[in-house]
Amino acid sequence: MEPVKGGIRYALSVHQDEVEALAALMTYKCALVETPFGGSKGGLCIDPRQWDEHELEQIIRRFAYELIKRDLIHPAQNVPAPDMGTGEREMAWIADQYARMNTTDINAKACVTGKPPHAGGIQGRVEATGRGVQFALREFFRLPEDIAKANLSGGLEGKRIVVQGLGNVGYHAAKFLSEEDGAIITAIIERDGALVKDTGLAVEDVRQWIAKHGGVRGFPEAEFVEDGASVLEKTCDILIPAAMEGVIHRGNAARISAPLIIEAANGPITFGADEILREKGCVIIPDLYANAGGVTVSYFEWVKNLSHIRFGRMQRRAEESRSRLLVEELERLSADRGLGWTLAADFKEKFLTGSDELALVRSGLDDTMRTAYQAMREVWHSRPEVGDLRVAAYIVAIDRVAQTYRSKGL
Ligand code: GLU
């Protein structure tokens, strides 16, 4: 499948085996959420906090230059995106580097996703992975049978959540779940330690504190725990590892008490830990599904770049006038028959305004997360030999890859 797709990360722990494993994971992730991509990944072994902005620009431009001249960054071959340590700024530099080296390529902007909106990006990409985690949990908590498998009951409201990592993914997931779904963030684990507060942490305040002080230590009105990793074991309803791989391993898996874990990061649970957790009856919503919101919205961005038209440009006014027709007809009927019906002003406004780009992106992401979950759970519940959602996710993904090959006559 080409183009291949995946993020470029900056971390001192980056190494070839890891990048290959993450690229393979992208292959299954893309298939599971029905994006027409193969998998890829890139990594630079640097700590971005140790470099100035102009140095970071030189580093990524040089890296991009080497890849672009080999067609290893190309709208039809390999389309990178942000990952750990990289973001919109890096993607804008890559896009600019590609445009300089391919001055006549009409699809140049589609060579990378996760660009800022003013540089050809799409609304809603920054928060997409966190939003996807929220949509995944919402879908899970719509299904009593699945909730019961995790020994939980009720909805998301009031659920106690421990989040590891308040980077782009963890921050947005925790923010949306606490501000929009009534979940309680009882602990946040960061690089320098963890914050614990059973009545719930204000995610936005913690984020601001980290931006100002470089860590969570000293944040008022919460207990600080120096040994952050130990907080993974804290009693809660949902654990969201959103930092890096391998944080739940043979050494701590038996002590993890969360009945439900959603892998917002890639590969946070090792193979050994997965076995231990499964035996304990813990339900794991696997990475290839849980964090697929990022690549899903990347797909929308790539399509937008290739189509050279902004979303909704053709249909927005047509939809609006159809809605207006309906509203006017309802009002006419009510007046004609003397029924005295009036449509609520806010209903009229909502109904008459066509969807903007952000609304379309959210709707596409929500639909993707729901559809993929349904496909996985169907396999999980209907085949006794499939013991968990991870195996189910891989079965669905592999089946979709096979379908693609068949449809190409391969
Ligand atoms: N780095 C993200 C991931 O691991 C996003 C990849 C993309 O948007 O292509 O899924």
Residue 40 maps to which CATH number?
Answer: 3.40.50.10860
Residue nearest to atom 9 of ligand 1 (CA): 6
For residues 175 and 274, membership in a common domain is answered with: yes
Beta bridge partners of 113: none
**245: CA distance to ligand 1 center in Å?**
15
Residue type, 382: S
Report if residue 204 sits inside a domain.
Answer: yes
Report if residue 308 sits inside a domain.
Answer: no
Of 9, 126, 297, 298, which is best to mutate to test ligand 1, by the most ligand atoms within 8 angstroms of its C-beta?
298
Structure confidence at residue 350 (pLDDT): 85
Show which residues are catalytic: 41
What mean pLDDT is predicted for residues 271-284? 97
pLDDT by residue (tens digit) across 48-72? 999 999 999 999 999 999 999 999 9
For residues 340 and 378, membership in a common domain is answered with: no
pLDDT by residue (tens digit) across 159-206? 999 999 999 999 999 999 999 999 999 999 999 999 999 999 999 999
Task: Write out residues with Cβ below 6 Å of ligand 1.
Answer: 5-7, 81, 83, 113, 266, 291, 294-295, 298
Q: Could you tell me the pLDDT band of residue 309, with boundaries at 50, 70 and 90? A: very high
**130: CA distance to ligand 1 center in Å?**
12
Q: Which element (helix H / strand E) includes 7?
A: strand 4-10
For residues 169 and 241, membership in a common domain is answered with: yes
For residues 114 and 161, membership in a common domain is answered with: no
- The number of folded domains in the chain is 4
Structure confidence at residue 307 (pLDDT): 97
Task: Point out the ligand 1 atom lying closest to the alpha carbon of residue 291.
Answer: 10
Q: Is the pLDDT of residue 40 over 90?
A: yes
Q: Is the pLDDT of residue 396 over 80?
A: yes
Residue nearest to atom 6 of ligand 1 (CA): 6
* CB 183 within 8 Å of CB 157: yes
Report if residue 302 sits inside a domain.
Answer: no
Report if residue 306 sits inside a domain.
Answer: no
Report if residue 299 sits inside a domain.
Answer: no
Structure confidence at residue 408 (pLDDT): 83
Of 291, 299, 301, which is best to mutate to test ligand 1, by the most ligand atoms within 8 angstroms of its C-beta?
291
What mean pLDDT is predicted for residues 275-282? 96
What mean pLDDT is predicted for residues 107-115? 98
For residues 168 and 77, membership in a common domain is answered with: no
For residues 166 and 106, membership in a common domain is answered with: no
User: How many residues in total does the chain contain?
Assistant: 410
CA angle 228, 265, 98 (to 5 degrees): 125
Q: Is the pLDDT of residue 250 over 80?
A: yes
Residues 236-247 as b/e (b if ≥16 CB within 10 A, e otherwise) read bbbbbbbbbbeb
What percent of the chain clears pLDDT 90, i.e. is strictly above it?
88
Structure confidence at residue 45 (pLDDT): 97
Residue where a domain terminates, one of 64, 95, 119: 119
Structure confidence at residue 311 (pLDDT): 87
Structure confidence at residue 341 (pLDDT): 82
For residues 321 and 369, membership in a common domain is answered with: no
For residues 182 and 199, membership in a common domain is answered with: yes
More confident: 349 or 75: 75
More confident: 299 or 344: 299
Residue 236 maps to which CATH number?
Answer: 3.40.50.720
For residues 86 and 20, membership in a common domain is answered with: yes
Report if residue 67 sits inside a domain.
Answer: yes
Report if residue 77 sits inside a domain.
Answer: yes
Task: Point out the ligand 1 atom lying closest to the alpha carbon of residue 22.
Answer: 4
For residues 163 and 267, membership in a common domain is answered with: yes
Residue where a domain terminates, one of 281, 308, 342: 281
* CB 116 within 8 Å of CB 92: yes
For residues 167 and 273, membership in a common domain is answered with: yes
Q: Is the pLDDT of residue 352 over 90?
A: no
Q: Is the pLDDT of residue 81 over 80?
A: yes
Residue where a domain terminates, one of 119, 135, 167: 119
What mean pLDDT is predicted for residues 94-123? 98
Report if residue 141 sits inside a domain.
Answer: no
Q: What is the mean pLDDT of the chain?
A: 96
Domain assignment of residue 176, given as a range: 151-281
What mean pLDDT is predicted for residues 249-268? 98
What mean pLDDT is predicted for residues 95-107? 98
For residues 99 and 161, membership in a common domain is answered with: no
Q: Is the pLDDT of residue 312 over 90?
A: no
Residues 98-130 as b/e (b if ≥16 CB within 10 A, e otherwise) read beeebeeeeebbbbbbbbbeebbbbbbbbbbbb
